[in-house]
Structure 1
Amino acid sequence: MSPTRRPRRDTEHLLTLVVGLLLMVCPAIASAARDERAPAPTLVDCQERFAARPDEQAAVMCFYECAQVPQARDAVRRALISLGEQHPGNGWLALVLGHVEFLSDRKAAEAAYLRAADLFHERQDAEGEVLASINLRSIALKQRRTEEALSWTHRVGEVARASGKPDLLARALIVEASHLHDVEHDLGRAVRVLKRAEPLTFPDGTPGLQKQYLTLLHSISERLGWLEEATEASVRLAEVARSSRDLFSEARARHSLANLMTRRHLRDRAPETRAQALRMAREALVAARNAGVQQLEAKALRLIADLLGDSPEEQREAEELLRQCMRIAEELASDERKVSCLWTRAERRAHVDPVGAIQDSEESIQLALGVPDPLILALALRGRAQVAYLTQPVPKALEHAERALDAVESLRASQSDALIQAELFASWASDYHRLAGWTLEAGGATGKTALIDPREALSRAFAMSERMRARSLLDALAASHALAAVEETPKHKAQRDEVRGRLTAVQRKLLEPTRTVEQREAALRELQELERIERDLRPAPRQGAREFASLESIEQGLGEDEALLAFLVGDDTDTRGGFAGGAWVLAVTKSGTRAHRIPERALLTPAIALFSGLLERRDGSEAGAAAALYTQLLGPALAHLPAGVRRLMVVPDGPLHDLPFATLRQDADGPPLVSRYELSLVPSASLWRHWRQASVRPSGGEALVLADPDRSVRVSDARVVAKERMTVFAEAARAGALPEARREGRAVVEALQGTEVTPDLRTGTEASERALKSADLERVRVLHVAAHAVVDAEAPERSALVLAPGSEKEDGILQPREIAELGLQGALVVLSACRSASGAVLPGEGVLSLSRAFFEAGSRAVVASLWPLRDDEAADLVARFYQYLAQGLSSSAALRRAQLDAIDDGLPAAAWAGLVVLGDASLTVTPPREAPLPSLPLLATGALVGVLLLGLLGWRWRARRPQR
């Protein structure tokens, strides 16, 4: 999350409130009242209009337009009161009187709005009653009467639904979403409710309604870190504002775009984005002043001051801008604006006036405690930590930074949706990187004099690392083992089942290739609505154990032959040139822990992308890049590992999620890392401990193997043979046959025969979603799926394994929400499907992949792929993996042996390095087999042959097999 991110609060100031209401009441007149090119009408004009059309809403709204001239306000008020006495049943007179009274007397305004609501109710005027209720809700919110505001929110919804009018339904949904956003801070439900208003608002809604929708969409999207959607909303808002000649909304859109560009600058740290953001912020300031909106003016002043550099000229300009910002905040009596001005001034003062900076930051926290928005407090605490780092002893700064993260975690806990929790949390990942780096630096890890005990620094940095990682997955697994699990009511479960049945039916439509473009678009819109309903019906995230793994517990839990490498990939410097935490790898072994610096995120991201491109060439050209990445990421850490370490558990971060560590090598012409170590990836050390401590399942069980699912309605139809296991969701309906996957399935069966695990092979139409869901999964020790996978990085919950349906009630698209409910109880899952370990990477949370869903289902280890697999190569590699797995080797040892065989066969890294083990690498599915002792003649013969061939085999890698 960017330090410049600021929430929009329409109820914060009188002008914002009134203009926002009028956009809903009468956007054309409200816009004209703010447009300098349209002079306000006189009182005489309005009286004449009303006399001609006393029942017309626009004629009454003329009086409010006239009241924008302060000198005319009292006369307008008296005229409205007089007309109200003459026309006691006219609710519009009472409503507009409320608008005028609000400019000077909020209590009188509320009385007028209450009368308007009653009059409209008596006349069954749904539009008027909705608008009066919206105004009363806004006043209640301004006075922090939240329960009363909620009751008005409900009334708006009831009246709008009873009317059946699309525009009123849209207004009601926007009001409900606003309440969820502003009061309950439940961003997931807010955006889902708001999205229901979109088809009612575009393209036929009034400009005022569209502006309300887009403003709220921008605010929610920005909070969640959805910068692209927030930008799109702001651009659309600017277009609507220009077309309706609304200076206020155009100024708000300009400020939003400037703020978003600042967020991009903080993310990308490119000089050109800073210049763009500064230019856009100055334009936003001009627009705010032209519109006469002081709140937006204060926001723009603060934003410019935050973007200015540290030269004497820029420092003087920033000080002047912040003085103006504070003056406006005082005039508006806006604690929220004052808080943001204070923390920005504190950060700029830190180098030149430490005492003043500390005073400003402390005052910002005290004010933030009284603002009913936890985000404001979190931002103020972050600013306090930054000031403390620059002005006070490091231990004090670390305490302030930890307080800020506590506030962030409170924000996270307020969300009722696990994915939204993760997305909101992701915006703050850089804060965890910063604090971990500050702590390691204080412990002397950068070579500076240690300011705190080095061991304490390692422990605290490791704790920060764990607090950041895979929180939603850790919560889900911890909650699934909690004794007091929340049971779903039969009624609620029936509702969910009904919605999921409708989802399946719609997805079956989308998978039919004969559908027209129009039919597919309609089905997609229906799918989006059903997905929102299904998300709302899910139980709220259950908070599991809050105990994260300590460094000491991980050290004690590791074997003598194991090491855990936890990466933290942050930035070296912030936008002002200060230390932003840097990038690190913590190498943890049973004998202790060391921290090593690695290149920062901005350098690693393009380097890994280049390396991936070279791997795809399949010509060995990646060798030099593999050696360079080894040196940068692993060299120092591996050099200090104890000699007996043979297994590495890697906790990746940021761009490292896409890196095939097995291919890295010490020298360009040397063997890859997999020749020395067993490798696995784990989302966090806490999850690794969770899996490692899980009880061992008794021997026996089944291996359910689903291979080459046939989605054809008529089995006799010939299917196209696919060359690769496809990755595009749109191609799921055209998924071709995978004949090598059938061979792979038979190889799995052959390898496991004679073991304690009984294989059950399903192919073609029997390799179905129904077969999987109806299987006795409590007995399944191994689940193997050799099929297509589709990965949707923009909508991770639509990613799926493509199976045969097996039933009219299934679509064959096995998605994360379905996977998570399978109940696998510690099974090993092998996904021989393209990109089943990849997907959208969410900072902190990790990869939102299909593999992750199987962990939620109870799997302890998942073997999956980082990139598309060729059908024949995948079959060969997996067949070898099972041969070694059947011998009692662990999942990581078996995969290592299979990959080494592929290397010996001369296959390129692209053919074998994409398959990875995630989770508990030590998981086995059968006891080790004891090889029979050879007879003495055979021993003698073997020894003689060994002596004769020793010289011939000297060229082979000495690390061809693990040392045991």
Structure 2
Amino acid sequence: MLLVCPATALSEAPSRPQPPTLESCQERFAAWPDDRDAAMCFYQCAQEASAREAVTRALTALEARHPDQGWLPLVLGHVRMLSSHKAAEAPYRRAAETFHRLQQAEGEVLAAINLRAILLAQGRAEEARQWTRRVVEVASTSGRPDLRARALMVEASHLYEVELDLGRAFRVLKRAEPLVFPEGTEGMKKQYLSVMGTVSERLGRLDEASDINARLVELTRSTGDLFLEAHGRFTLANLALRRLEREHVLSDRGRALALARQALAAAERTGNTTLVARAARLTADLLGDSPEEHREADVLLARCLALPETPESQELRLSCLWTRAERRAGVDPAGAIQDSEASLRLASERNDPLYLALALRGRGTVAYRTQPLPEALAHAERAVDALEALRQTQSDASSQAELFATWARDYHRLAGWTLEAGGATGRAHTLSPRAALSRTFAVSERLRARTLLDALVASRALVDAEDTPERRAQRSEVQSRLVAVQRRLLDPLLTGAGRDAALKELQELERRERDLRPVPRQGALEFASLDAVEQGLEEDEALLVFLVGDDVDLTGTSAGGAWVLVVTRAGTRVHRIPERTRLAAAATLFSGLVERRDGSELGAAVALHAQLLGPALAGLPATVRRLLLVPDGPLHDLPFAALREHREGAPLVARYELGVVPSASLWRHWRGDAPPTLGGEALVLADPEWVLGHGESRSAAASRSGIFEEAALLGALPEARREGFGVEEALRDAHMAPRLWVGPEASERALKDADLSRVRVLHMAAHAVVDAEAPERSALVLTPGTEEEDGILQPREISRLRLNGALVVLSACSSASGAVLPGEGVLSLSRAFFEAGARAVVASLWPLRDAEAADLMERFYRHLATGMSVSAALRAAQLEASDAGLPPAAWAGLVVLGDAGLVATAPREEAAPLCGLDPALLMAAALVVLLALGFIARGRWRGGRAPAATRGAAARRR
């Protein structure tokens, strides 16, 4: 909730300043009765709970004598807020009307902001919305940047509190940030940090939220603001709990409990019963199971539940009830059920999907521990339904993905419980094994790659009505400005100050571009069922669906565990695998050993094969030769091709073709399309000529520039140029019509202008730069082509290319890697090509060496050109590389994403038998051929490889 409690100009020392006395404030006001700070002195005095009653009487008397002094009722509202929201409403309303009558914009804005918060806390959303509009109107009319910043913060608060749109709230706050820091008042800074900390936490940006709240605590300590200090400390402790739940490092529990106790002590200093109750509940949530801790938790939760039952306290009461229910489950089952049912009733009355999901999560935990498993399943399924409703409140795909990622463990829990109900853990089953598998598969599909699926389904529909020509023109204008700013950032001569300014401008433009995107369409999705997937698989295919959760949660309740579902045309089986934390450590170790290129990864390869694949592969039908992998969590970056059953044995890719799909629903989406026409056009871009850099050293920037510093210093790729010619030759031999663009011709402008609808293969041998912190800045680096382009082809631009079921091959570093969001998957460059319409993408999990990449691609295309599927061609190329003695680092990182069974070229026809011809004629023809070959061989020997001539001929064909 957004509150504005301005501070006086007090000491900036790190220790908390002592509040002024009531007598000193009265003397100060008598000397300067029109001064704002003289009135604010009373608020500082009221920080001591024992002084509040006297301060309230003094302010009431002064307000009666000074009816045109709007700061007096405003400060009275602040003082009453320290004890009761309801009591603060009337003075805030009087202050707003007084300032409005006197045309004092600043006071009116501050009073309206606080009044709006009071109304919202009481559930009076429509009245709060009216005061939000008033704040924005007054601030805009005033023309003051500081009031504009406050209006933006109120707008952001409305977005996340009322509309639950966290993504837009975050971007609105970012627009306010340069208006607040560094020149804003202490009060504005505290207001900004308070709201931004809450929004960041709810989006799952836990590190960012922790930094913000640490700054808030330090600022409030220096200004003596006990209320906001307690709020900041509570949020820090809550973030520590969130991180504990996410990372499952149980040793961090003690630190989180210590932070909760600090938050409770800070709340008690304020005397505010609501703050005390919140901190008490959090502390109880983190206490252990010893008798002493149980007694302490009971006392704390009793304090929490002692609050009067008002709309204002409903949110806190329901969370106290579900916390007490979870703690009582092991000792008082009936009481636990009663508490959790009461919490659920309160959440249902709020009609808020967030709190409904939280209450249902708690109700499910209690049911799992106290009631038959079907009861727990019912509540867990309802929790997932609430999460779907929460997802739909977000107005852009990125925010949907971020928010959804924070709830992935609820899907893992429901999936594991469902398998348990089907007897997978040995517990007496309450579902048939087949029903449990089908329902688990459905839960898995609801979790995975949802925004990508939304985008692909929407691309088949008519243009969104909200995406008007005006909005498209605005997006185009913003895109042009983005290019101009990025061209500046790519200049190695840009100074540190200029670079910082350009980065700030870029961030603002990126936020505007995202706000102008069409709202994601939802509700028309049909997830793939297990029956449909089984029927859609070929006899030689198996789909391996991984669900990688934790074994238990912080209460000791089953968190679902980790599983692999093995789906074939003949049926589906399920096997238990190690939980997430164990797999994350093992996968990281394996990838690190692969990078060493010394064979030290063999032991880890065998261990992971046994843990992930051993039982799954042992039961596969003998006909299976292609594995379609649906990874989860730490498995997204795992090079499955290099796993092996024995140290001396062959790698997995020797036995199976491999393909990676984000979800079974997306796999069916691609498979459901009509098979592409074989042959046709191909487009090959190789070794783009980077021309923006000046080739000079650059000064160090004051802030991180990410991909721009890296891109500006990239060199040529001579082996990529050789690769391009080899790809062109292989595709021409496969009766395709390839176009080869190398050097300056391999430009961003040319690619965007090209008609790609008939292109069946798009090959790009170029540099890639990946920014895991800002995935939308990742890029393939091309020649710009015009002054209107910057040469860095980013996801927002890639997704607007119009591919029609093409195979895209990204011979570029880390083009299949990037930030991993739980559930959503990898935010990679490859993903953007799927949004553009690609049917399959071949890309790399890690950096590629130039010569090794060129050789591997030569092998791949040699097999692809014979009519092999993409996965078969890649398997053959990887086996050749392995047989040639190359380490897994040289070949195992290349993966097929999407439709691994795609065939891009027509099979080569065998020569017809020469039946009935005269043997003498055959011998004569053979002699002519041999003589011709001799002349050709002599010509090649004399001229060597003649790279310039060969490539010149290719250039003329372009």
Answer whether TM exceeds 0.5 for this pair.
yes
1:522-561 mapped onto 2 (5 Å cutoff): 522-543=501-522, 545-561=524-540
Question: Shift of residue 132 of structure 1?
Answer: 2.7
Which residue of structure 2 aligns with residue 498 of structure 1? 477
Contact 1:329–1:338 under 8 Å retained in 2: no
**Tell me, what secondary structure is at the counterpart of 1:596?**
strand
What amino acid maps onto 1:21 in structure 2?
Answer: V
Distance 1:620 1:323, change over 3 A: same
Q: Which residue of 2 aligns with 1:82?
A: 64
Q: Deviations over 1:893-931 (max 9, x none)?
A: 111111111122111111111110000011111222233
Question: Does 1:480 find its partner at 2:459?
Answer: yes
> SS of the residue aligned with 1:369?
helix
Query: 1:817/1:490 Cα in 2 relative to 1: closer, same or farther (>3 Å)?
Result: same
Instruction: Please state how far the C-alpha of 1:357 moved relative to its aligned partner.
Output: 0.9
- Alpha-carbon separation, structure 1, partners of 2:744 and 2:249: 53
8 Å CA contact retained: 2:380, 2:414:
yes
Deviates more, 1:163-172 or 1:70-79: 70-79
The SS at the match of 1:527 is helix
Q: Which residue of 1 aligns with 2:493?
A: 514
CA distance in 1, matches of 2:253, 2:189: 31
Paired position in structure 2 for 1:207: 186
2:598 to 604, 619, 624: 619
Compared CA separation, residues 74 and 662, structure 1 to 2 (3 A)? closer
Query: Which residue of the partner structure matches residue 125 of structure 2?
Result: 146
CA 1:458/1:650 → structure 2, altered by over 3 Å: closer, same or farther?
same
- Once residues 886 and 720 of structure 2 are traced to their aligned partners in structure 1, the CA distance between those partners, rounded to angstroms, is 19
- Contact 1:618 1:909 survives alignment (8 Å): yes
CA offset at residue 535 of structure 1?
1.0
Give the Cα–Cα distance (whole angstroms) in 2 for the partners of residues 708 and 484 of structure 1: 36
Q: Normalising by the residue count of structure 2, what TM-score does the alignment of the two structures yield?
A: 0.90
- In the TM superposition, what are the counterparts of 1:268-287 in structure 2 within 5 Å? 268-287=247-266
Structure 1 residue 21 corresponds to structure 2 residue 4: yes
1:539 deviates by 1.2
2:503 maps to a residue whose letter is L
- 1:15 is matched with none
Q: Distance in 2 between matches of 1:533 and 1:47?
A: 49
Whether 1:906 aligns to 2:888 is no
Contact 1:97 1:112 in 2 (8 A): yes
Residue 238 of structure 2 aligns to which amino acid in structure 1?
N
User: Residues 252-281 of structure 1: CA distance to partner in whole angstroms, max 9, x if unpaired?
Assistant: 222222222222222233342011111221
- Deviation per CA, 1:141-176, whole angstroms, max 9, x where unpaired? 234343332332233223323333332222111111
Q: How does 1:292-331 map to 2 (within 5 A)?
A: 292-328=271-307, 330=309
Q: Cα 1:102–1:457, aligned 2, differ >3 Å: closer, same or farther?
A: closer
SS in 1 for 2:5: helix
> 1:38 is matched with which residue?
19
2:460 counterpart letter in structure 1:
H
Is 2:714 aligned against 1:731?
Answer: no
Instruction: Give the Cα–Cα distance (whole angstroms) in 2 for the partners of residues 469 and 875 of structure 1.
Output: 34
Partner of 2:360: 381
CA distance in 1, matches of 2:538, 2:789: 45
**CA shift digits 1:756-789 (9 cap, x unpaired):** 4310000111101101100001111111110000
2:56–2:79 Cα contact (<8 Å) kept: no
One-letter identity of the residue aligned with 2:538? G
Counterparts of residues 90-105 of structure 1 (less than 5 Å) = 90-93=69-72, 95-96=74-75
Q: Aligned partners of 2:466, 2:242: CA distance in 1, in Å? A: 42
Match of 1:445, SS?
A: coil
Contact 1:741/1:871, CA 8 A, preserved across alignment: yes
Question: 2: distance between equivalents of 1:75 and 1:303?
Answer: 35
State whether structure 2 residue 400 is matched by structure 1 residue 421.
yes
Quick one: which of 340, 356, 378 aligns to 1:361?
340
Q: Does 1:822 align with 2:805?
A: no
Separation (CA, whole Å) in 1 of partners of 2:562 and 2:158: 40
Q: Which residue of 1 aligns with 2:903?
A: 924
Structure 1 residue 64: Cα displacement: 5.6
2:224 is paired with a residue whose SS is: coil
Task: Answer whether contact 1:80 1:97 (CA < 8 A) is retained.
Answer: no
Normalised by the length of structure 1, the TM-score is: 0.90
Give the corresponding residue for 2:207: 228
- The residue type paired with residue 776 of structure 2 is E
Q: Deviation at 1:344?
A: 0.8
Once the two structures are TM-superposed, the CA of residue 507 in structure 1 deviates from its matched residue by 0.2
In 2, Cα distance between the equivalents of 1:464 and 1:176? 36
Closer/same/farther in 2, CA of residues 528 and 160 from structure 1, 3 Å limit = same
User: What secondary structure does 2:810 align onto?
Assistant: strand
Residue pair 1:41, 1:65 contacting (<8 A) in 2 also: no
- The equivalent of 2:370 in structure 1 is 391
1:113 shift after superposition? 4.6
What is the CA–CA distance in structure 2 between the aligned matches of 1:250 and 1:112, rounded to whole Å? 24
Q: Which consecutive residues of structure 1, in runs of 5 or more, have no partner in the other structure? A: 1-8, 11-19, 720-726, 939-964
Deviations 1:415-462 (A, max 9, x none): 001111111100111111111111111211123332321111111111
Alignment of 1:420-439 (within 5 A): 420-439=399-418
Q: State the one-letter code of the partner of 1:828.
A: L
Q: In terms of mean alpha carbon deviation, does 106-115 or 417-426 score higher? A: 106-115
Aligned-pair identity in percent equals 66
Corresponding letter in the other structure for 2:754: A
Q: Residue 745 of structure 2 corresponds to which residue in structure 1?
A: 766
- AA at the equivalent of 1:477: L
Instruction: Kindly provide the amino acid, as one letter, of the partner of residue 298 in structure 2.
Output: E
> Does the residue aligned with 1:579 lie in a helix, a strand or coil?
coil
| C-alpha RMSD of matched pairs (Å) | 2.7
For residues 98 and 851 of structure 2, the distance between their equivalents in structure 1, rounded to whole angstroms, comes to 76
Contact 2:18-2:224 at 8 Å conserved across structures? no
SS of aligned partner of 1:22: coil
* Structure 2 unaligned regions, length at least 5: 698-705, 923-958
Partner amino acid, structure 1, of 2:58: V
CA distance change for structure 1 residues 362 and 466 in 2, over 3 Å: closer, same or farther? same
Paired position in structure 2 for 1:249: 228
State how far apart, in whole Å, the 2-side matches of 1:37 and 1:416 are.
46
Q: In the alignment, is residue 841 of structure 1 matched against residue 820 of structure 2? A: yes
Say which is worse superposed, 100-109 or 927-936, in terms of deviation.
100-109
SS at match of 1:571: coil
- CA shift, 1:744, in A, is 0.7
Note the C-alpha offset of 1:700: 4.4
Hey, what does 1:404 align to over in structure 2?
383
> Residues 620 and 366 from structure 1, CA distance in 2 versus in 1: closer, same or farther, beyond 3 angstroms?
same
Local SS of the residue matching 2:492: coil
Q: Is the 8 A contact 1:469 1:683 kept in 2?
A: yes
Q: Choose which of 562, 565, 568 in structure 1 pairs with 2:541.
A: 562
Q: Does 1:460 align with 2:443?
A: no
